[in-house]
């Protein structure tokens, strides 16, 4: 069975500071990993994904994440936070078939001016 944990249900950063949202996964097969973002009153949208190949993946809005197999991690980072980054962020995992995407509990990001 696959599962996702996200350390920290709420993270606050100052505008311009580094954003680091943590994600660890459990999977018995090579995982496909995703970060989704949910802005208030909007549907979830894909930020970035790892399937195969390069372990450092870049997404929209300046976010990137690195797949580290030895640590079973897929942490999300952004060098400089912007006010518009305030949202709920979900890490997710699936297998190659992508039949079922399993989401973590989410991390709410606040950006302080």
Partner 1 sequence: DTGVSQNPRHKITKRGQNVTFRCDPISEHNRLYWYRQTLGQGPEFLTYFQNEAQLEKSRLLSDRFSAERPKGSFSTLEIQRTEQGDSAMYLCASSFLGGDTGELFFGEGSRLTVL
Binding site for partner 1 (CB under 8 A): 4, 9, 32, 34, 36, 41-46, 49, 51, 90, 92, 94, 96, 98-106
Contact 15, 112 (CB under 8 A): yes
CA distance 104 to 56: 20
Q: Given the structure tokens 């995703």, which residue do they identify?
A: 34
In whole angstroms, the minimum distance from the beta carbon of 84 to partner 1 comes to 19
Of the pair 39, 83, the CB lying nearest partner 1 is at 39
- DSSP three-state, residue 61: helix
In whole angstroms, the minimum distance from the beta carbon of 113 to partner 1 comes to 25
């Amino acid at each position: 069975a696959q599962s996702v944990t996200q350390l920290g249900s709420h993270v606050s950063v100052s505008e311009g500071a580094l954003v680091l949202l943590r994600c660890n996964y459990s999977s018995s097969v090579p995982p496909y990993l995703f970060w989704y973002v949910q802005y208030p009153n909007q549907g979830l949208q894909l930020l970035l994904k790892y399937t195969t190949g390069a372990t450092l993946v870049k997404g929209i809005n300046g976010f990137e994440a690195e797949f580290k197999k030895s640590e079973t991690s897929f942490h999300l980072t952004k060098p400089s936070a912007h006010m518009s980054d305030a949202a709920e962020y979900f890490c997710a995992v699936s297998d190659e078939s992508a039949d079922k995407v399993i989401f973590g509990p989410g991390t709410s990001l606040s950006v302080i001016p």
